[in-house]
Structure 1
C-alpha cells in the first residue's frame, strides 16, 4: 500500500508539473497569426534531410507532404537513403508547397545529399553513386552549377567525415536535429530523459532545454569560409521513428513537429509565382549560393529577419562575394524586438567584432574578410532550469574581398 501511495504521489506531481509547463510560452517574440516578409526581401522556409517509408522513414510521401503543409512550409526536400533512379512523381507544387526529390547516399563513412536540377541520375547502384559523387567532390568549388552536394551531420558518431573537406562539396549541415539530440544524450543522460518525460506537455520546451551550440560545426565553417565559399544548412533528419518498436503506431517526434523545430529560410528579391519550373530554379539557386539563414523556429517565427551587405545603390544577399568599397556596411534587422535578453553578434573570420542589443543595426565594413551573423536570445526556462543563452538565427557568410 505504501508503494502505491508513493507511485500515486509521483504521478500526480508529474501531471501537475506537466500542466504548469504546458502553459509556458517559449517564443521570444510576440506571437502573431501570420508574419510578414521584410520590406525588401521575400522569406520562404523549408526543410531537407527528410525520410519516407522508401528508406528509414515511417510514413508515405503523401503523408509527409501533408505534414509539411500543416507546418506552413514553403518547400520540402525528400532525401531518402540509397534510393537509385529516384522517383520524381512528387517533385512539383502541392498546393503552396514546393517539393524536391533528392537523395542521401553512403559515401565512405559519411552521408551526402545529392540533388540534380536537370534530374540527372546518380546511377543504378551504390557503386555508380560513389563514382559520381567522387567526381563531383573532386571538382573546383562552384564548378558544377546544376547539382547540389551536401555533407550531412559531419561529426555524428559513426558517420563523421575524416580528412580534408573536398573542394567540390557545396556545403554541410551546421545543424542536424538528430546529432543535437545525440550530443545532449552524451552530455547528460538524466537531462535527456527529463526532456523526453516533459515532451507530451511542451514539445518545444523539451527540445530547447537540450539544445547546445554546434561548436565543432561552427569551427569548421569559420575555418573553411576563410579560404573558399561554403554553404551551411539545417537538416531535420525527419523520419518519425525514434521509437523503433512503435514505428507505424507512434510516429515520434511527428513529421509536423520536426518541421516546426528548425528550418532554412531563403531570401529572394522576387516572389515565388506558383510556376513550378521557375520557382524550383529560384529555390535551388538560393540553396546552392547560400542566400539563406537557419533558424530555430521553435523559439519564434523569424520571418522578416534580414542581413544584407550594403554599398552605394546595391544590396547583397548572404552567400555573396563582394569587393570591398567605400561606405560598405552590414545591415541586420530583426522582425521585432525579442521580449527576452538578446544580442546580434557579428563575426569576422571566426572572431567576434561586434555585439549589438538593438533589433536593427548597421555595422561598417572597412576591411576584407568573411562575415557572418548570429542572433542569440536568453529565455527564462521553468524550473528546474533557468536562463539559457541559445542561438536563434545563424546566417550564411558574406565574403568581402580586397
Structure 2
C-alpha cells in the first residue's frame, strides 16, 4: 500500500511539474508568423543528413517531405545510407519545398555525404562508391565543381575520422544532432534520462538541456581554415528511430521535430524563382561555397540575420575569399535584439578578437586572416537547471588574404 501511495504521489508530481515545464518558453526572440529576409540577401532554410525507410529511416520519402513542409523548410536533402538506386522522382519541387536526392556512404570507419549536380552516378555498389569517393578526396581543394562531398559527424563515437583531412573534401558537419545527443549521454546519463522524461511536455527544452558546444569540430574548423578553404554544415541525422524496438510504431523524435531544431540558412543575392534546375544550382553553389550560416532554430527564428565583410566597392558574404584592403569592416546584424543576454563573438584565426552586446555592429578588419562569427545567448532553464550559454548562430568563415 505504501509503495502504491508513493508511486501515485510521484506520478502526480511528474504531471504537475510537466505542466509547469509546458508553460516554459525557450525562445530568445519574439515568435513571428513570417520573418523577413535581410535587406540585401534572401535567406532559405534547409536540412541535410536525412534518412527514409529506403535505408535506416522509419518513414517513406513522401512522409518525410510532408514533415519538412510542416517544419517550414525551403529545401531538404535526402541522404539515405549506402543506397544506390534512390528514386530520382523525388528530386523536384514539392509545393514550395525543394527536395534533393543525395547519399551517405560508408568510407573507412566514417560516413561521407555525396551529391552530384550533374546527377553523375557514384556507382552500383559500395565498392564502386568507395573508389569514386577516394578519387574525389584525392583531388585539389575545389577541383570538382559539380559535386559536393561532406564528412558526416567527424567525431561521433564509432565513426571518428582518423588521419589528415583530405584536400578533396568540401567540408564537414560542425553540428550533428546524433553526435550531440551521444555526447550528452556520455557526459551524464542521469541528465539525459531526465531530458527524455520531460520531452513530452517541452521538446525544445528537452534538447537545450543536453546541448554542449562542438569543441572538437570547432578546433578542426579553425585548424583547417588556416590551411585552405573549408565549409561546415549542420546535419539533422533524422531517421525518427531513437527508441529501439519501437521503430515504425513510435517515430521519436519525429521528423518534423528534428527539422525544427537546427538548420542551414543559405544566403542568396537573388530569390528562388520556382524553376527547379536553376534554383537547385543556386542552393548547390551556396552549399559548395559556404555562403550560409547554421542556426539553432529552437532558440528563435534567425531569418533576417546577416554578416558581411564590406570594402568601399563590394560586400562579401560568408564563405567568400577576398584580398585585404584598408577600410574593410565586418558588419553583423541580428534580426532583433534577443530577450536574454547575448554576445556577438568575432574570431580571427581561431581566437576571439571582439565580443559585442549589440544587435548591430561594424568591426574594423585591420589585418588579413580567417574570420568567422558566433552568436551566443544565455538560455534560462527552469529548476533544477540554471542559465547556460548556447550558440544560436555559427557563420562559415571569411577568407581575407594578404
Q: Aligned-pair distance for 1:171?
A: 0.1
> Could you tell me which residue of structure 1 aligns to residue 132 of structure 2?
132
> Could you tell me which residue of structure 1 aligns to residue 327 of structure 2?
327
Secondary structure of the corresponding residue to residue 242 of structure 1: coil
> Could you tell me which residue of structure 1 aligns to residue 58 of structure 2?
58
Q: Is the aligned partner of 1:76 residue 2:98?
A: no
Q: Show CA shifts across 1:53-112 (max 9, x none).
A: 000000000000000000000000000000114321100000000000000000000000
Provide the rounded CA distance (Å) in 2 between the counterparts of 1:16 and 1:322.
57
Contact preservation (8 Å) 1:86, 1:121: no
Q: Show CA shifts across 1:7-29 (max 9, x none).
A: 00000000000000100111001
> Could you tell me which residue of structure 2 aligns to residue 91 of structure 1?
91
Secondary structure of the corresponding residue to residue 371 of structure 2: strand
Q: Show CA shifts across 1:146-186 (max 9, x none).
A: 00000000001111100000000000000000000000000
Which aligned pairs between 1:177-188 and structure 2 lie closer than 5 A? 177-188=177-188
Q: Is the aligned partner of 1:2 residue 2:2?
A: yes
Q: Aligned-pair distance for 1:33?
A: 1.1
Q: Is the aligned partner of 1:316 residue 2:322?
A: no
Q: Is the aligned partner of 1:361 residue 2:361?
A: yes
> Could you tell me which residue of structure 2 aligns to residue 264 of structure 1?
264
Provide the rounded CA distance (Å) in 2 between the counterparts of 1:326 and 1:166.
34
> Could you tell me which residue of structure 2 aligns to residue 158 of structure 1?
158
4+ residue stretches of structure 1 with deviation over 3 A? none
State the superposition RMSD in angstroms.
0.5
Provide the rounded CA distance (Å) in 2 between the counterparts of 1:85 and 1:99.
16
Provide the rounded CA distance (Å) in 2 between the counterparts of 1:109 and 1:2.
53
> Could you tell me which residue of structure 1 aligns to residue 108 of structure 2?
108
**Unpaired runs of 5+ in structure 1?**
none
Contact preservation (8 Å) 1:345, 1:373: yes
Q: Is the aligned partner of 1:293 residue 2:302?
A: no
> Could you tell me which residue of structure 1 aligns to residue 388 of structure 2?
388
Secondary structure of the corresponding residue to residue 13 of structure 2: helix
Provide the rounded CA distance (Å) in 2 between the counterparts of 1:348 and 1:176.
24
Which aligned pairs between 1:29-44 and structure 2 lie closer than 5 A? 29-44=29-44
Q: Show CA shifts across 1:191-219 (max 9, x none).
A: 00000000000000000010000000000
Secondary structure of the corresponding residue to residue 236 of structure 1: strand
> Could you tell me which residue of structure 2 aligns to residue 203 of structure 1?
203
Provide the rounded CA distance (Å) in 2 between the counterparts of 1:55 and 1:309.
42
> Could you tell me which residue of structure 1 aligns to residue 280 of structure 2?
280
Secondary structure of the corresponding residue to residue 81 of structure 1: coil
Provide the rounded CA distance (Å) in 2 between the counterparts of 1:45 and 1:166.
28
Provide the rounded CA distance (Å) in 2 between the counterparts of 1:21 and 1:250.
23
> Could you tell me which residue of structure 2 aligns to residue 20 of structure 1?
20
How many aligned positions are there? 402
Q: Aligned-pair distance for 1:31?
A: 1.3
Provide the rounded CA distance (Å) in 1 between the counterparts of 2:95 and 2:366.
46
Contact preservation (8 Å) 1:85, 1:122: no
Q: Show CA shifts across 1:240-282 (max 9, x none).
A: 0001211111000000000000000000010000000100000
Provide the rounded CA distance (Å) in 2 between the counterparts of 1:129 and 1:245.
31
Q: Aligned-pair distance for 1:313?
A: 2.4
Secondary structure of the corresponding residue to residue 102 of structure 2: strand
Provide the rounded CA distance (Å) in 2 between the counterparts of 1:254 and 1:389.
26
Contact preservation (8 Å) 1:171, 1:231: yes
> Could you tell me which residue of structure 2 aligns to residue 347 of structure 1?
347
